[in-house]
């Protein structure tokens, strides 16, 4: 740059500054309009009274099954611990662990030589006393004949009669002792008291066992089988009422995702647990495939009762307030607050009283409503179709 050009630059800068000042003092029409729009208050629905868009669903009337969910435990209908009834030694084991047995099947054989000897001794005693009785009866018969001929006195006949009666009583006692000996001998064969699956066998051949003390094994019934769980006290009347008709229907689901099992409620305990406010119940299930195993935990669902012709609305439409629950009902294009009472809720639905079947209930947009507000209603069921058609229109637009 040449120093002689400096006066020209100063002149140009002065001219530009003058132009900026004039533009600020005299704004154009576009700038004035923009400033006015920015300074004006925003107009909303509350200020202008515009309608509020909401989605609605119809309150429907239907039968609703009151279903209770709980965690239950599989329990056998019977589980018997087998013990010997005599003190002896195991002679032979006739079954294996895990085997299924029927009632009366032979499980163990005990050493029975001592009891066999006792039975033989009792039989011999019976035979001896029967011979004594027979002799006493012959003596009585002869004494009666001699009495008829006046060769002996009546007292002799009475003495012979007493001997016969004593011998007869002794024979009866011997027979009772023989029966007892035979019962003790029968204990040498240990049989299954019920049908079921054999558990762990605790003894082997040669093991000494004590009467009514040594556990031999446990037999557990698996078919049918029971599931025990607890019901809230408020459903006690429903459970008791269902028992005479075969029991309420109960379904069970195993944790491994197996098929749902169907059973029936068969037992209700005779008292309510004061600590938990629940009552213990049992349901019986078929277990042909043996999937229900004693001690396993399952998820139980029981149909306590059925609410006939109940009015059902979505739970999401219910607004909880300090004065109770309400829903908004659309009437003549306006929102009306309707108090409701929830009788039962399950999943996304709730059974309520206070609304009628067919009334339009506000589902989405209820947070913006006030009683009497004007609404623009759209069906919640048709939202997906409306959205799809709108997307198609946008896709076809240039």
- Written as six digits, the tokens of 336 are 């009306």
CA distance 189 to 92: 10
| Pairing between β-strand 297-314 and β-strand 319-321 as defined by DSSP bridges | unpaired
Q: Helical H runs in 29-149?
A: 29-39, 45-48, 113-148
CA 261, 265, 271: angle at the middle one, nearest 5? 140
Per 3-state DSSP, the chain is made up of helix, strand and coil in percentages (nearest 5) of: 35, 35, 30
Three-state SS across 359-398?
A: CEEEEECHHHCCCCCEEEEEEHHHHHHHHHHHHHHHHHCC
- What is the tens place of the pLDDT at every residue in 104-126? 999 999 999 999 999 999 999 99
Which single residue is written with the structure tokens 């169907």? 262
- What is the tens place of the pLDDT at every residue in 166-222? 999 999 999 999 999 999 999 999 999 999 999 999 999 999 999 999 999 999 999
For the CA atoms of the chain, what is the radius of gyration? 48
Closest CA to 221 of 92, 76, 37: 76
Beta bridge partners of 307: 64
Closest CA to 309 of 41, 60, 108: 60
Q: In the chain, what are the domains?
A: 52-63+308-382 (2.40.420.20), 112-187 (1.10.287.470)
- Cβ atoms 83, 392 nearer than 8 A: no
Which single residue is written with the structure tokens 């900026």? 20
Phi, psi dihedrals of residue 289, rounded to the nearest 5°: -90, -5
- Cβ atoms 208, 252 nearer than 8 A: no
pLDDT tens for the chain, 398 residues: list them.
443 443 443 443 444 444 433 344 344 444 333 333 333 333 334 334 578 889 999 999 999 988 888 899 999 999 999 999 999 999 999 999 999 999 999 999 999 999 999 999 999 999 999 999 999 999 999 999 999 998 889 999 999 999 999 999 999 999 999 999 999 999 999 999 999 999 999 999 999 999 999 999 999 999 999 999 999 898 888 888 888 877 788 999 888 767 788 999 999 999 999 999 999 999 999 998 888 999 999 999 988 788 899 999 999 999 998 889 999 999 988 999 999 999 888 889 999 999 999 999 999 988 888 888 998 888 765 443 333 333 333 333 33
CA 23, 28, 30: angle at the middle one, nearest 5? 135
């Amino acid at each position: 740059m040449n120093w002689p050009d400096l006066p020209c630059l100063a002149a140009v800068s002065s001219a530009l500054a003058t132009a900026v000042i004039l533009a600020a003092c005299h704004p154009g029409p576009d700038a004035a309009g923009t400033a006015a729009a920015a300074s004006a208050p925003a107009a909303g629905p509350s200020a202008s009274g515009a309608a509020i868009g909401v989605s609605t669903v119809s309150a429907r009337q239907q039968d609703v099954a009151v279903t209770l969910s709980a965690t239950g435990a599989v329990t056998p209908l019977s589980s018997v611990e087998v013990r010997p009834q005599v003190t002896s030694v195991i002679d032979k084991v006739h079954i294996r662990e895990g085997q299924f047995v029927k009632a009366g099947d032979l499980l163990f054989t005990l050493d029975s030589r001592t009891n066999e000897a006792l039975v033989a001794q009792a039989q011999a005693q019976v035979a001896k006393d029967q011979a004594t009785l027979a002799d006493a009866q012959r003596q009585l018969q002869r004494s009666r004949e001699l009495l008829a001929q006046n060769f002996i006195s009546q007292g002799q006949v009475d003495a012979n009669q007493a001997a016969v009666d004593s011998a007869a009583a002794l024979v009866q006692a011997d027979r009772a002792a023989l029966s007892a000996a035979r019962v003790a001998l029968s204990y040498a064969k240990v049989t299954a008291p019920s049908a079921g699956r054999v558990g762990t066998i605790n003894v082997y051949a040669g093991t000494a066992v004590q009467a009514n003390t040594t556990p031999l094994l446990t037999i557990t019934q698996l078919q049918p089988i029971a599931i025990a769980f607890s019901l809230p006290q408020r459903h006690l009347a429903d459970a008791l009422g269902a028992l005479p008709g075969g029991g309420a229907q109960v379904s069970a689901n195993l944790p491994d995702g197996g098929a749902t099992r169907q059973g029936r409620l068969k037992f209700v305990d005779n008292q309510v647990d004061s600590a938990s406010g629940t009552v213990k119940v049992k349901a019986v299930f078929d277990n042909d495939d043996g999937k229900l195993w004693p001690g396993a935990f399952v998820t139980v669902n029981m149909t306590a009762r059925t609410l006939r012709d109940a009015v059902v609305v979505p739970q999401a439409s219910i607004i909880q307030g300090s004065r109770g629950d309400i829903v908004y009902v659309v009437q003549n294009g306006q929102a009306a607050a309707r108090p409701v009472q929830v009788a039962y809720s399950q999943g996304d639905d709730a059974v309520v009283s206070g609304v009628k079947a067919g009334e339009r209930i506000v589902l989405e947009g209820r947070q913006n409503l006030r009683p009497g507000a004007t609404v623009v209603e759209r069906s919640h069921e048709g939202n997906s179709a409306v959205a799809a058609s709108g997307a198609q229109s946008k896709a076809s637009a240039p």
